[in-house]
C-alpha cells in the first residue's frame, strides 16, 4: 500500500476519533466504519498507536466491541485510559463501560 494511502487512512481515523464528544465512547469497529474502512477495526488500533504522546485527540474514548479497555488490566496503559475515561465523566467498572449508556451514536 502506498504511503499516501496509509496516511489518508490514519488521518480519516484520527478525524473520526477527534469527534467523539466528552463523556462518550466508541468501538474500534464503529470508528473503522465511520472512517470508510469497514472491517478494519484492528487498523484503528494501529492508527491510534501512531498518535504523538502530547495529542489532544481523545484516543482513550475508543474501546473494544464489548466496551472493554483493550490494554492488560492493571498495566500502566490500562490505568491511564481508565483514569482519562473517569475524568471525562464515563463510568468504568472492572475495565468495562456500558455502551448503551455511554456509547456515541452520531
Q: Tell me which fold the domain 3-101 belongs to.
A: Arc Repressor Mutant, subunit A (1.10.10)
The neighbouring-strand residues paired with 26 are 62
For 8-99, strand residue ranges (E) read 26-27, 62-63
- Output the nine-digit C-alpha cell for 9: 487512512
pTM: 0.93
pLDDT of residue 9: 95
Q: Return mean pLDDT, the chain.
A: 96
pLDDT tens digits along 34-50: 999 999 999 999 999 99
pLDDT tens digits along 1-21: 777 777 999 999 999 999 999
Name the DSSP class of 25.
Answer: B
Domain residue extents for the chain: 3-101
Total Cβ atoms within 10 A of residue 101: 12
Amino acid at each position: 500500500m502506498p504511503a499516501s494511502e496509509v496516511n489518508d487512512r490514519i488521518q480519516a481515523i484520527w478525524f473520526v476519533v477527534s469527534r467523539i464528544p466528552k463523556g462518550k465512547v466508541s468501538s474500534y469497529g464503529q470508528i473503522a466504519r465511520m472512517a470508510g474502512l469497514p472491517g478494519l477495526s484492528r487498523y484503528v488500533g494501529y492508527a491510534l498507536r501512531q498518535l504523538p504522546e502530547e495529542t489532544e485527540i481523545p484516543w482513550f474514548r475508543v474501546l473494544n466491541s464489548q466496551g472493554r479497555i483493550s490494554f492488560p488490566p492493571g498495566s500502566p496503559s490500562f490505568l491511564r485510559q481508565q483514569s482519562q475515561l473517569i475524568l471525562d465523566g464515563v463510568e468504568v467498572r472492572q475495565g468495562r463501560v456500558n455502551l448503551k449508556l455511554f456509547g456515541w451514536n452520531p
